[in-house]
């Protein structure tokens, strides 16, 4: 079994810092961690930072997720699994990636691995409390998409943000995804990261293929499977 | 069932919503067709750098698969590369930007339009002309270009551009104007190839990324001019958008393309299926293309490809009959068939052959 944990969030939301702290905690708990970065343009910087901490990092890139990146991503997971054998792969997708698309792509890697099954950890979306008003104005749609598909919304940088900003981030997140669990913390000061690691270790998120089949059955027969 | 119309007759009838012997089909197989040329070992780098090799894939693809269209998609980094971005060209992978050229606000403002007679822009125009010369009498041919906002996000990274739309909008507009100028020159270049149509990739027209107002400000107003120029240069304006929540009212009803190619994301609430697209009238005046999952051409068995194609045909035929349409749907992949070595060529053929066998429509 290989568990995939997505840490989503827009540019500047603190993904890389959070991800490194998260990985260090999980390594201390005995996990073998690999990290995949999908961040066209900033990719090499992130990979270098990640590798400074002795974690295995791979980059992916390419065209659009529905055709090209999906194949690259699946292949990257399979190569990591076949050579490095991590029990947990943390993915830092681009701020414009769709979490469902990455889940699907991850599951495709099963065909290239010897009997391994992909399990998804809860999708964590970081929301930058410091810049929430700016994000809502500038990239509202993209932030909405990432919150909509999150299992956990992690309101980040709460150690620096005002309570008003934190409240605004919570209200915004709840309005888009009332079912998501809301967490608070700061990747920089390792606040809340341990709790996020607990969730990644103990919980799962639905698989794409199962959800897809259910949706197709619903479409075909007009009812839930 | 044997075809009783040729590709051009069927394609033209479909564009005009006239009765056809069967629905048109075009799995978007572009780069993958390089595997049909010569010994099958042509690298992607060679294919995307040499007009003759680029054209040869379309010519061999047509012989092998018997498509109804030929559309000259190379990759999404052509313009960004010619703007100075570093493009990684692997042997068997789509070229992609590894180091964007535009890193600062000043870079947006000082950008100059790339020379369309140099670099891969020239390869694309020359290669398009070669396959249009070879196939134009058999099928409907079209060129393929990235829209201005897509080119900019390739040349500067998407997240940066989206933040700069808010923080530095005037600089973003300056870059978009420059890229639109480049695009206009590319349109004129493509016009000389005598291709029947030109497909614009307007990927960012997605409600997951931009609302109507932002889309109009950062792409719509530039796209309108390019769409008009496309027609003036003698090509039918077409659009490809594989986003999850496409701006159909703008891109189909307002822009009025002859063909609109789109994908379907069943788990994204509101992502329009083929049936919904037809029911809501988007196919009334536009030939819609879609929506087989491109990854199916890599992952599925031939049996699953046949079943999926048959299901889509049934869905489309039922919806079109209810809407009083004869032929306004093209059975296609929602995005490019992955051009990797693992794509199953037999699945492309299976899709086409299934449409030939079961694509007849009688309401």
Q: What is the pLDDT along chain B (363 residues), one digit of tens a residue?
A: 789 999 999 999 999 999 999 999 999 999 999 999 999 999 999 999 999 999 999 999 999 999 999 999 999 999 999 999 999 888 887 888 888 999 999 999 999 999 999 999 999 999 999 999 999 999 999 999 999 999 999 999 888 898 899 889 999 999 999 999 999 999 999 999 999 999 999 989 988 888 899 999 999 999 999 999 999 999 999 999 998 889 999 999 999 999 999 999 888 888 899 999 999 999 999 999 999 998 899 989 999 999 999 999 999 999 999 999 999 999 999 899 988 888 999 999 999 999 999 999 988
- The torsion angles phi and psi of B294, rounded to 5 degrees, stand at -55, -35
Closest chain B residue to the Cα of A208, Cα to Cα: B267
Binned at pLDDT 50, 70 and 90, residue A15 comes out as confident
Q: Which two tokens stand for residue A124?
A: 């964590």
Q: How many Å lie between the alpha carbon of A143 and the closest alpha carbon of chain B?
A: 8
Q: Quick check: A61 and B336 CB within 8 A? A: no
pLDDT of residue A42: 37
What CATH number matches the domain at A2-221, 1.10.3720.10, 3.20.20.20, 1.10.600.10, 3.40.50.300? Answer: 3.40.50.300
Assess A63–B contact: CB distance below 8 Å, yes or no. Answer: yes
How much is the average pLDDT of A107-121? Answer: 87
pLDDT of residue A225: 40
pLDDT of residue A109: 85
Q: Quick check: A108 and B338 CB within 8 A? A: no
CB A141 within 8 A of CB B209: yes
* Helix axis angle, B148-156 to B221-232, nearest 10°: 120
Query: For chain B, how many residues are written?
Result: 363
Q: What residue ranges in A41-105 does DSSP mark as E strands?
A: 56-59, 88-92
Could you give the residue ranges of the DSSP H alpha helices within A114-207?
132-138, 140-148, 163-176, 193-202
Which residues 168-187 in chain A show a CB within 8 A of chain B? none
CB A93 within 8 A of CB A38: yes
**3-class DSSP state for residue B283?**
coil
pLDDT of residue B286: 98
pLDDT of residue A114: 78
pLDDT of residue A67: 58
Q: What residue ranges in B43-93 does DSSP mark as E strands?
A: 69-72, 86-88
Q: Quick check: B167 and A138 CB within 8 A? A: yes
Q: Which two tokens stand for residue A46?
A: 């992130």
Q: Which residues of B touch A142 (CB under 8 A)?
A: 162, 208-209
Answer whether residue A44 shows pLDDT above 70: no
pLDDT of residue A224: 46
Closest chain A residue to the Cα of B101, Cα to Cα: A41
Q: Quick check: B208 and A62 CB within 8 A? A: no
Could you state, in order of their start, the residue ranges of all structural domains in chain B? 7-358
> Which of B162, B267, B340 lies closest to A215 in CB terms?
B267
CB B276 within 8 A of CB B236: no
Q: Quick check: B162 and A96 CB within 8 A? A: yes
Q: At which residue do the structure tokens 């890139």 appear?
A: A61
Q: Which residues of A touch B204 (CB under 8 A)?
A: none
pLDDT of residue B105: 95
Assess A204–B contact: CB distance below 8 Å, yes or no. Answer: no
pLDDT of residue B308: 95
Distance, in Å, from the CA atom of A91 to the CA atom of A84, rounded to the nearest integer, reads 16
> Which of B100, B158, B338 lies closest to A94 in CB terms?
B158
Q: How many Å lie between the alpha carbon of B159 and the closest alpha carbon of chain A?
A: 6
Q: How many Å lie between the alpha carbon of B2 and the closest alpha carbon of chain A?
A: 30
Q: Quick check: A42 and B157 CB within 8 A? A: yes
Q: Quick check: A61 and B210 CB within 8 A? A: no
Q: Which residues of A touch B94 (CB under 8 A)?
A: 62-63, 68
pLDDT of residue A11: 76
Q: Quick check: B162 and A142 CB within 8 A? A: yes
Q: How many Å lie between the alpha carbon of B166 and the closest alpha carbon of chain A?
A: 5
CATH architecture of B7-358: Alpha-Beta Barrel (3.20)
Assess A140–B contact: CB distance below 8 Å, yes or no. Answer: yes
How much is the average pLDDT of A63-69? Answer: 57
Q: Kindly give, in sequence order, each residue whose CB lies less than 8 Å from that of residue B114, ignoring residues fewer than 6 positions away.
A: B79, B82, B83, B121, B182
B259-281 per-residue burial string, b: 16 or more CB within 10 A, e: under 16: bbbbbbbbbbeebbbbbebbebe
Distance, in Å, from the CA atom of B60 to the CA atom of B37, rounded to the nearest integer, reads 6
pLDDT of residue A69: 64
Q: Which residues of B touch A42 (CB under 8 A)?
A: 157
Q: What is the largest CA-CA distance in chain A?
A: 53
Q: Kindly give, in sequence order, each residue whose CB lies less than 8 Å from that of residue B358, ignoring residues fewer than 6 positions away.
A: B309, B310, B313
- The torsion angles phi and psi of B96, rounded to 5 degrees, stand at -150, 155
Q: How many Å lie between the alpha carbon of A145 and the closest alpha carbon of chain B?
A: 6
pLDDT of residue A85: 85
How much is the average pLDDT of A130-141? Answer: 85
pLDDT of residue A222: 58
Closest chain A residue to the Cα of B269, Cα to Cα: A148
């Amino acid at each position: 079994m290989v568990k995939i944990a997505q840490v989503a969030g827009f540019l500047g939301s603190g993904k890389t810092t959070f991800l490194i702290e998260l990985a260090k905690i999980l390594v201390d708990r005995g996990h073998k961690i690999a990290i995949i970065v999908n961040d066209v343009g900033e990719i090499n910087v992130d990979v270098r930072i990640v590798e400074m901490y002795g974690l295995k990092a791979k980059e992916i890139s390419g065209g659009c997720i529905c055709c090209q990146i999906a194949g690259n991503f699946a292949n990257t997971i399979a190569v990591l699994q076949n050579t490095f054998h991590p029990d947990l792969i943390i993915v830092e997708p681009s701020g414009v990636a769709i979490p469902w698309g990455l889940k699907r792509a991850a599951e495709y890697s099963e065909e290239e691995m010897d009997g391994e099954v992909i399990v998804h950890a809860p999708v964590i979306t970081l929301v930058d409390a410091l810049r929430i008003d700016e994000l809502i104005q500038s990239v509202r749609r993209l932030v909405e998409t990432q919150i909509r598909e999150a299992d956990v919304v992690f309101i980040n940088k709460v150690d620096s943000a005002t309570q008003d900003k934190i409240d605004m981030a919570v209200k915004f997140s709840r309005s888009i995804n009332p079912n998501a669990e809301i967490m608070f913390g700061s990747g920089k000061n390792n606040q809340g990261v341990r709790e996020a690691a607990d969730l990644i270790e103990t919980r799962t998120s639905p698989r794409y293929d199962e959800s897809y089949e259910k949706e197709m059955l619903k479409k075909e027969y007009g009812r839930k499977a | 069932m044997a075809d009783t119309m040729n590709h051009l007759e069927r394609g033209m009838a479909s564009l005009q919503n006239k009765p056809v012997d069967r629905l048109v089909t075009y799995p978007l197989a572009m780069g993958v067709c390089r595997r049909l040329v010569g010994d099958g070992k042509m690298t992607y780098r060679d294919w995307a750098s040499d007009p003759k090799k680029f054209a040869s894939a379309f010519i061999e693809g047509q012989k092998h698969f018997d498509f109804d269209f030929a559309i000259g998609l190379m990759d999404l980094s052509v313009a960004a590369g010619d703007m100075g971005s570093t493009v990684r060209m692997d042997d068997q992978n789509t070229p992609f930007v590894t180091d964007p050229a535009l890193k600062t606000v000043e870079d947006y403002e000082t950008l100059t339009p790339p020379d369309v007679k140099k670099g891969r822009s020239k390869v694309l125009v020359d290669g398009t002309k070669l396959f249009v010369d070879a196939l134009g009498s058999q099928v409907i041919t079209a060129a393929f270009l990235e829209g201005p906002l897509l080119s900019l996000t390739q040349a500067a990274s998407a997240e940066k551009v989206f933040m700069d739309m808010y923080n530095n909008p005037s600089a973003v507009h300056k870059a978009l104007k420059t890229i639109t100028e480049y695009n206009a020159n590319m349109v004129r270049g493509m016009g000389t190839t005598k291709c029947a149509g030109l497909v614009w990739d307007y990927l960012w027209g997605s409600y997951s990324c931009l609302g109507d107002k932002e889309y109009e400000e950062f792409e719509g107003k530039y796209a309108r001019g390019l769409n008009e120029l496309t027609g003036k240069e003698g090509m039918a304006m077409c659009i490809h958008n594989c986003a999850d929540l496409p701006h159909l009212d703008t891109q189909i009803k307002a822009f009025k393309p002859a063909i609109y190619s789109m994908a379907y994301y069943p788990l994204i609430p509101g992502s329009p299926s083929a049936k919904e697209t037809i029911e809501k009238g988007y196919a009334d005046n536009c030939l819609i293309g879609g929506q087989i999952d491109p990854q199916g051409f890599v992952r599925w068995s031939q049996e699953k490809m046949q079943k999926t194609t048959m299901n889509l045909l049934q869905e489309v035929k039922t919806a079109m009959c209810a809407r009083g349409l004869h032929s306004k749907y093209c059975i296609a992949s929602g995005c490019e068939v992955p051009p990797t070595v693992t794509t199953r060529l037999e699945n492309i053929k299976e899709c086409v052959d299934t449409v030939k066998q079961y694509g007849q429509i009688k309401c």
